[in-house]
Amino acid sequence: MSVSGVGAWIRYGDPLEPAEIDFAIQHYRAAILQPWEAEAAARIKDARPDMTVLAYRCLSSARDFEPPERCASGLTHAELTRRDWLARRGDGSLVEWSTYPGHFQARVWDEGYRARWVEQVCQDIEGTAFDGIMSDNDVFDDYYGLSFPLEEVGSAAELRRVLDGFVAQVGAGLAGVGKILVPNIAEARREPGRWERHAAWGGGFDECWLGWGGEQLFDEPTALAQIHQLRGPGVSIVRTPDGGSAQAPHGLYGLAAFWVFGAGQGAYTATGHDDYSRTPWFPALDADLGAPLTGPRREAGAWTREFEGGVAAVVLDPQRQAELTLPSGLVLPGPDGRPDGQALPSNVVLPGHHGLIGLRP
């Protein structure tokens, strides 16, 4: 069984419901689940061997509330405490993340921690149906109030260099057991080559693609600095911050950009902040534009691209609107994503930070 949709299911919040798995099999191209959801992963892969299914693991923290059998970090808080692998400040106090209570910074710069993390994660995933892992918190800056310097690490730049090597170490370890690594690569646009290095072991995930939040979308130059992430290597999974429904306009905005610049390769989603406990979807996610007939073209303030099955257009500049002339006969995606929705006029005005998907009937 295969589907034409390009959606990504980021689902590492509340416990899974069986109906959600049925929905995912019908509508998504990639999924990120908690590592203990091995039965769900097996069910999905049995029905959809083409779907990429990843287990969530955190590179950089241990959570004091996690039982050993439900550990989203690579190693348990108890083990890090016993081995003295929890980071400390100069006064000896532990480093709890300011925005996520119960998350404690791990000593990722400790060779012993890194080797043990790789050993445990590879052991956990080998023999499961998961294709690999999504390693969260491959951070670029201090997002969690670490307030450098810490013992042995003086700055975010130093921590970033450590993670650079750690990602390669994890990727090599997973490759050795036949699995892939897809890190959540923070702010790769700010460092040339960062995305390509960190995605080299199977792909990359950008949790803040085209913006920080629904009210904090990027300007056009910043958005264009992220576009190369759609070209791989490996599977590219991108999330635009949004409510994730047909009523939230930025989901369609991000999806249109995904098609214009990535030609529908990889997987895409739009969700709210930490909104990972449901199945966000809207019909255009299942729309199939087919193979591209042109490259991305900028005209009248919009970026457009024509496909065998239709047209995608997006306005990245929030300060302008574009007046577009579309091929005749295009329609909007219908309720199931098929080309049987409302007819589109030949002339369309597209506001800034909006997108359009038009299909050939």
The per-residue pLDDT for range 199-246, each reduced to its tens digit, is 999 999 999 999 998 789 999 999 999 999 999 999 999 999 986 555
Do 233 and 312 belong together in one domain? no
Instruction: Quote the pLDDT of residue 215.
Output: 81
Q: Which residues contact 97 (CB under 8 A, 6 or more apart)?
A: 61, 103, 104, 105, 144, 145, 146
8 A C-beta contact, residue 39 and residue 62? no
Residues 38 and 52 reside in one and the same domain: yes
Confirm whether 242 is domain-assigned: yes
Q: What does the block give as tokens for 150?
A: 């810490």
The residue range of the domain holding 339 is 288-361
35, pLDDT greater than 70: yes
> Does the residue 89 lie in any domain?
yes
Is 12 inside a domain boundary? yes
Residue 169 lies in a domain: yes
Tokens 């005005």 -> residue: 349
Do 121 and 79 belong to one domain? yes
By C-alpha distance, which of 173, 250, 261 is closest to 217?
250
Q: CA-CA distance, 303 to 206, in Å (whole number)?
A: 21
Domain count, the chain: 2
Q: In degrees, to the nearest 5, what angle opens at C-alpha 318 toward C-alphas 315 and 320? A: 75
- Same structural domain for residues 155 and 231? yes
The answer to whether residues 267 and 8 touch, using CB atoms and an 8 Å cutoff, is yes
DSSP-assigned letter for residue 83: T
Nearest residue to 327 via CA among 346, 344, 348, 312: 346
Q: What DSSP assignment string belongs to 275-300?
A: --SS----GGGG----SBSS--EEET
* CATH number reported for the structural domain that contains residue 228 in this entry: 3.20.20.70
Asked if 180 and 132 touch (Cβ cutoff 8 Å), the reply is yes
Whether residues 268 and 300 share a domain: the answer is: no
Residue 105 located in a structural domain: yes
Looking at the structure, tell me whether residues 20 and 110 fall in a common domain. Answer: yes
> How would DSSP label each residue in 176-210?
TTT-EE--BBTTGGGSTTHHHHHTTTBEEEETTSS
Using CB atoms within 10 Å of the CB of residue 93, give its burial: 0 to 12 exposed, 13 to 18 middle, 19+ buried: exposed
Task: Give yes or no: residues 276 and 348 share one domain.
Answer: no
What crossing angle do the helices spanning 18-27 and 38-47 adopt, rounded to 10°?
Answer: 40
The mean per-residue pLDDT over the stretch 92-110 comes to 97
Q: Tens of pLDDT along 246-292?
A: 566 789 999 999 999 999 999 999 998 889 999 999 999 999 999 99
Same domain, 239 and 169: yes
The answer to whether residue 60 is domain-embedded is: yes
| Last-in-domain residue among 286, 303, 328 | 286
SS3 90: coil
Last residue of a domain, one of 268, 286, 304: 286
Same domain, 207 and 222: yes
> What is the chain's mean pLDDT, rounded?
95
Question: Whole-model pTM?
Answer: 0.96
Integer Cα distance of 129 and 348 in angstroms: 46
Provide the pLDDT for residue 242. Answer: 83
Q: Which of 286, 303, 326 is the last residue of a domain?
A: 286
- The residue type of 74 is G
Q: Which residue has the tokens 């959801």?
A: 37
Please tell me whether residues 317 and 238 are part of one structural domain: no
Name the CA dihedral angle for 117, 122, 123, 124, rounded to a multiple of 10 degrees: 90
99 and 125 both lie in a single domain: yes
CATH, residue 308: 2.60.40
What span, in angstroms and rounded, lies between the C-alpha atoms of 85 and 79? 8
Kindly state whether residues 205 and 145 are assigned to the same domain. Answer: yes
- Bridge-partner residues for 358, per DSSP? 311
| Structure confidence at residue 102 as a pLDDT band (50, 70, 90) | very high
Quote the CA–CA distance of 161 and 293 in Å, as a whole number: 41
